Chain A
Amino acid sequence: MSARVAIGLEVHAQITSLRTKLFCSCSSDYRGRKPNTNVCPTCLGLPGSLPVLNRVALEKAIALALALNCRISEKLVFVRKHYFYPDLPKNYQISQYDRYGLIPLAVDGSVTIDMGSYSKVIRIRRINVEEDTGRIVYPGGSPLGSTYSLIDYNRAGIALLEIVTEPDFSNPREARVFLEKLGSILEHLDITDTSLEGALRADANISVEGGPRVEIKNIGSPKELEKALGYEITRQLNILKSGGTLERETRHWIKERGITVPSRVKELEGDYRYFPDPDLPPITIPRDLIESIKRGLPELPDLRARRLAEEYGIGSYMASVLVLNKRLCDHFESTVKLCGNPKVVSSILVNEFLRWVDELDLDLSEGLKRLSSERLCGIVDYLEKGVISVKLLKEYVRRVIVEDVGPEKIVESGMTTLSSAEDLEKIVEEVFREFPKAVEDAKRDPRAVNFLVGQVMRKTRGRADPRLTNEIIMRRLRGHESS
Chain B
Amino acid sequence: MSIRDLRARVEGDPDFLFRYIEEVYRIVERHEEVVRAYITLRPMEEVVKEAEELLRRGTLGPLGGSLVAVKDNISTKGIRTTCGSRMLENYVPPYDATVVERVKAAGGIIIGKTNMDEFAMGSTTENSSFFPTRNPWDLERVPGGSSGGSAAAVAACEATVALGSDTGGSIRLPAAYTGTVGLKPTYGLVSRYGLIAYASSLDQIGPIGRCVDDVARVLSVIAGHDARDSTSLKVEVPDYTQFVREEPLRRYRAVVIEEMVGEGVDRGVVKALEHVINKLEGYGIEVEFRSVPVLEYSLPAYYIIAMAEASSNLARYDGLRYGIHLSAEGLLWTKAYAQVRKIGFGDEVKRRIILGTYVLSEGLYEGYYLKAAKVRRAVYDGFRKLFSEFDFAVSPTAPTPPPRLGEVITDPLKLYSLDINTVPVNLAGLPAISVPGGFVGGLPVGIQLFGPPLSEGVLINVARMVEVIVGYER
Contact = CB atoms under 8 A, between A and B. Distances in A.
Contacts of A100: 365-366, 370
A351 B361 CA distance: 54
B83 interface: yes
A356 interface: no
A82 B193 contact: no
Interface residues of A, number: 35
A50 B316 contact: no
Given A47-B75, A273-B361, A84 B330 contact: no
Contacts of B196: 47-48
Contact of A47 (B322, B329, B365): B322
Nearest to B195: A48
B337 interface: yes
Contacts of B192: 48, 50
Nearest to A53: B230
Nearest to A86: B333
Given A48-B93, A89-B316, A147-B330, A271 B362 contact: yes
A83 to B, nearest CB: 9
A199 B321 CA distance: 26
A85 B315 contact: no
A88 to B, nearest CB: 9
Interface residues of B, number: 48
A271 B370 CA distance: 16
B230 A91 contact: no
Nearest to A51: B230
Given A82-B312, A90-B315, A50 B229 contact: yes
Contacts of A148: 328-330
B197 interface: yes
Interface in B54-91: 74-75, 81, 83, 88, 91
A92 B356 CA distance: 15
A48 to B, nearest CB: 4
Interface string A51-88: 11100000000000000000000000000101011100
Contacts of A198: none
Contacts of B93: 46-48
A92 to B, nearest CB: 6
Interface in A386-435: none
A48 B230 contact: no
Contact of A92 (B230, B315, B369): B315
Contacts of B328: 148-149
Contacts of A315: none
Given A147-B330, A271-B361, A278-B200, A92 B312 contact: yes
A151 B330 CA distance: 16
Contacts of A271: 361-362
Interface secondary structure of A, over-half rule: loop
A47 B91 contact: yes
B16 interface: no
Contacts of A274: 360, 365
B321 A89 contact: yes
A157 B194 CA distance: 19
A24 to B, nearest CB: 9
A280 interface: yes
A50 B193 contact: yes
A268 interface: yes
A133 to B, nearest CB: 13
Contacts of A268: 334
Nearest to B81: A47
Contacts of B283: none
Contacts of A49: 193
A151 B328 CA distance: 12
A50 B333 contact: no
A46 B94 contact: yes
Interface string B84-108: 0000100101110100000000000
A474 interface: no
Contacts of A275: 308, 312, 360, 365, 369
B213 interface: no
Nearest to B311: A273
Contacts of A84: 315, 318, 333-334, 337
Given A48-B195, A50-B228, A50-B229, A86 B320 contact: yes
Going nearest first, the 4 A-B pairs with the smallest beta carbon separation are A278-B201, A278-B200, A91-B315, A273-B360
Interface of A: 41, 44-53, 80, 82, 84-86, 89-92, 100, 147-149, 151, 268, 270-271, 273-275, 278-281
25 contacts: A41-B94, A46-B93, A46-B95, A46-B321, A47-B196, A47-B197, A48-B75, A48-B193, A48-B197, A49-B193, A50-B231, A52-B229, A84-B315, A90-B316, A147-B329, A271-B362, A273-B311, A273-B357, A273-B365, A275-B369, A278-B199, A278-B201, A278-B309, A279-B200, A281-B231
Given A47-B197, A90-B315, A280-B230, 8 more contacts: A48-B195, A50-B228, A91-B316, A148-B328, A149-B328, A273-B357, A273-B360, A275-B369
Interface of B: 74-75, 81, 83, 88, 91, 93-95, 97, 192-197, 199-201, 227-231, 308-309, 311-312, 315-316, 318, 320-322, 328-330, 333-334, 337, 357, 360-362, 365-366, 369-370
